[in-house]
Amino acid sequence: MSAHYHLQTKGTSITTTTQDTHVLIVGGGLAGLAAALELEQAGIPYLLLEAQARFGGRILSQPVAADAGFGVDLGPTWFWPHQQRMQRLCSQLGLRIFTQHIAGDVLYQQSGGRPVQRNGAGQGMLSYRVEGGTQSLIAALVARLDPARLHHGCAIVRITHGNEGWCVTAGATTHETPAAADAPQLVRARHLVLAAPPRKLMQIAGLSQCLPTGLPAALTATPTWMAAQAKFVAVYPTPFWRQDGLSGQAFSRVGPMVEIHDASATADSGFALFGFIGVPAGVRIRHTAGVLHEACLNQLVSVFGARAATPDVSYLKDWAREAWIVSDNDVDESPMHPELDLSAWLPQLHRMKMHFVGSEIAAEEGGYLEGALGSVESFKRTSELFA
């Protein structure tokens, strides 16, 4: 249900679009979209508002070719055999998965100008990837949801709670993403599902005043997993490292990348290498992205040889610059897995019809894609909405 209210102020008229819904979801990453799918399948009316101009949050894949759909991952890449929820969701959404390429030798880049060492036989745990990049998961989820219920470019800036339920102000942001033209500016909802990183939630005006005692401090203390990470990806016409008997895995004491892997978009196409950058976010921020980009490419040449010098294309993704994901504390602290136990607050939260989902909220596998799905499973299991 949608209504337009005309506010008359001195000489100006402001039109506010207000929408009523049963459930409002804040955040359109994996957790928010998976929660939306549960509501959609249960026939429960909802709206989902996402601050950024795209859905997916920390999930982001870059096309390797115009006709290849999604491609190499700039955010999450792997899930592991024990993570059954990810495997079930991929199968439910009809997505193909493949195993991370690890066959071949591993390289070690030593410090002090010593030669790169080659060690036999592929190493590392068996891990899975989504064909075409992890963003295929987001595209498949969005395709199953009613587009009229999803809005991006629509940030939540204020939340209040009263007898009538939740009243949420959206749209006017301090960041540079314009709100979509059809997006509501005020939403009134019976239930609120918070699906953004806890530290970002705590920046929403009014929210901490609505929360039970002790919870604001617990949310503020919860780190956002990988939020201060940066990745470099180089896409090549051929997997020259595989042809040389290398796995694409390399570990470095030189940097800027500390760990490099094969990042091809499928088992045998969209060939790419990626590395996690070891330069701390606080230091990276003081340099232009171009300097780091060049240093990463030079490092690939030092480790893998001259053919690494000419990728078709390369990307540097610095997550510490993503204003809707990272918080100052995430930049300042050493990376830590989130551990947040909401159980003490659940009775009060349920009375208020307030729910938390997201990777940082997960009771197990916190920080991972699997954790994001686990938190949605708990939401479904414990919320009166699905009773």
Q: Least CB distance from residue 235 to ligand FAD, whole Å? A: 17
Q: Least CB distance from residue 218 to ligand FAD, whole Å? A: 17
30: three-class secondary structure by DSSP? helix
Q: Quick check: 315 binds ligand FAD (CB under 6 A)?
A: no
Q: Quick check: 374 binds ligand FAD (CB under 6 A)?
A: no
For the record, the structure tokens of 181 come out as 């033209």
**Of 72-80, 211-219, 232-240, 294-302, which segment contacts ligand FAD by CB under 6 A?**
72-80
Whichever of 33 and 303 has its CB closer to ligand FAD, that residue is 33
Q: Quick check: 137 binds ligand FAD (CB under 6 A)?
A: no
Whichever of 240 and 251 has its CB closer to ligand FAD, that residue is 251
Look at the block and give the residue holding tokens 């060049």: 294
Whichever of 116 and 186 has its CB closer to ligand FAD, that residue is 186
Q: Give the CA-trace dihedral at 108, 113, 114, 120, to 10 degrees.
A: 20
Task: Give just the sign of the alpha carbon dihedral 209, 215, 216, 217.
Answer: positive
Of residues 46, 79, 241, 345, which one binds ligand FAD by CB under 6 A?
Answer: 79
Q: Least CB distance from residue 129 to ligand FAD, whole Å? A: 9
Query: How far is Cα 201 from Cα 218, in angstroms, rounded to an integer?
Result: 12
Q: Quick check: 367 binds ligand FAD (CB under 6 A)?
A: yes
Whichever of 104 and 358 has its CB closer to ligand FAD, that residue is 358
Task: Give ∠ CA 348-149-159 in degrees, rounded to 5.
Answer: 40
Q: Quick check: 138 binds ligand FAD (CB under 6 A)?
A: no
Q: Least CB distance from residue 255 to ligand FAD, whole Å? A: 17
Of 274-313, binders to ligand FAD (CB under 6 A) are: none
Residue 234 bridge partners (DSSP) = 273, 314
Of residues 37, 141, 156, 308, which one binds ligand FAD by CB under 6 A?
Answer: 156
Query: 230, 227, 225: which is closest to 284 by C-alpha?
Result: 230
Task: Give ∠ CA 373-379-385 in degrees, rounded to 5.
Answer: 135
Q: Quick check: 30 binds ligand FAD (CB under 6 A)?
A: yes
Whichever of 96 and 118 has its CB closer to ligand FAD, that residue is 96
Query: How far is Cα 382 from Cα 374, in angstroms, rounded to an integer?
Result: 12
Q: Quick check: 256 binds ligand FAD (CB under 6 A)?
A: no
Per-residue contact string for residues 172-211; x = within reach of ligand FAD by CB under 6 A = -----------------------xxx--x---x-------
Look at the block and give the residue holding tokens 């190499």: 72
> Cα-flanking dihedrals φ and ψ of residue 154, to 5°?
-140, 90
Of 32-51, binders to ligand FAD (CB under 6 A) are: 32, 49-51
Whichever of 6 and 82 has its CB closer to ligand FAD, that residue is 82
Report H helices in the chain: 30-42, 84-92, 135-143, 198-201, 207-210, 215-220, 240-243, 281-284, 289-304, 328-332, 346-352, 369-382
Query: How far is Cα 334 from Cα 281, in angstroms, rounded to an integer?
Result: 10
> Cα-flanking dihedrals φ and ψ of residue 39, to 5°?
-65, -45
How many residues bind to ligand FAD according to rule CB under 6 A? 40
Whether 65 contacts 116, CB under 8 Å: no
Q: Quick check: 58 binds ligand FAD (CB under 6 A)?
A: yes
**Of 29-37, 113-121, 233-241, 333-341, which segment contacts ligand FAD by CB under 6 A?**
29-37
> Cα-flanking dihedrals φ and ψ of residue 110, to 5°?
-90, 160
Query: How far is Cα 121 from Cα 104, in angstroms, rounded to an integer?
Result: 5
Of 208-247, binders to ligand FAD (CB under 6 A) are: 225-226, 229, 231
Omega before residue 256 within 30° of 0, cis: yes
**Which residue type sits at 328?**
D
Q: Quick check: 324 binds ligand FAD (CB under 6 A)?
A: yes
Q: Least CB distance from residue 30 to ligand FAD, whole Å? A: 4
Chain residues binding ligand FAD by CB under 6 A are 26-32, 49-52, 57-59, 75-79, 155-156, 195-197, 200, 204, 225-226, 229, 231, 319, 324-325, 358-359, 367-370, 372
